[in-house]
Amino acid sequence: MGESNRSGQVLVMVSFWWSRGDELANHQLGQILTRAECLDGEITDAAAVDRALRAVGDEPTLVAELDEWWQMVAARRNDNTTQNPGLSLGSSIRYLTDRLDADRVTPKSIEECRRQIAALDTQIVSAKDLPELAHPDAEMLTLLTRYMEARSRVLAITST
């Protein structure tokens, strides 16, 4: 029973750190699960990852490798549990621009945009030391640029 409990704890931690969106680490996880013939889809597919982790079971060697993986990810991210901002920036930018491009921009919609900006700013500041922002790729830089443009539009409206 103890081995099953340990296995369960490891798999929960793997799932948690996978969900943080560290693309390099998740690529490594995909290689581990593919080599073990557990992954039947893409490492970016939550359902495929969930099925793969359930298929791991109590296989001691694989559980040990996954245990090492999540600990490596936690160390790589300095135990910062903030999710990769790139996972939500695109939808947040669409949310902001949809509100700003509406036929009628209301005080309520501006207030919603300000709340969204506050949440995003907090997330970005929390993630500033993570690999995704410390060494951003072209996609992340594009997202940040688009976010700053949308953010500026909201702030320009609220200051008038």
What are the tens digits of pLDDT across the range 40-86?
999 999 999 999 999 998 789 999 999 999 999 999 999 999 999 99
121: number of CA atoms within 13 Å, CB side? 10
pLDDT number for residue 1: 44
13 within a domain of the structure (yes/no) = yes
135 within a domain of the structure (yes/no) = yes
93 within a domain of the structure (yes/no) = yes
- Same domain, yes or no: 35 and 94: no
Of 76, 99, 121, the residue at which a domain comes to its end is 76
Q: What pTM value is reported for the model? A: 0.83
pLDDT number for residue 2: 57
Only one residue has tokens 């830089």, namely 141
pLDDT number for residue 103: 87
Residue 159 has pLDDT above 70, yes or no: no
In whole numbers, what is the pLDDT of the chain averaged over residues? 92
Considering the chain, what percentage of its residues have pLDDT values greater than 70? 96
Alpha-carbon 16 to chain mean position: 10
- Same domain, yes or no: 93 and 66: no
Decide: 85 and 133 in contact? Cβ < 8 Å: yes
Residue 158 has pLDDT above 70, yes or no: no
Token pair of 61 as six digits: 């060697």
Of 30, 49, 76, the residue at which a domain comes to its end is 76
127 within a domain of the structure (yes/no) = yes
81 within a domain of the structure (yes/no) = no
What domain count does the chain have? 2
Of 33, 58, 76, the residue at which a domain comes to its end is 76
- Same domain, yes or no: 72 and 45: yes
- Same domain, yes or no: 95 and 151: yes
Range of the domain at 95: 86-158
Considering the chain, what percentage of its residues have pLDDT values greater than 90? 88
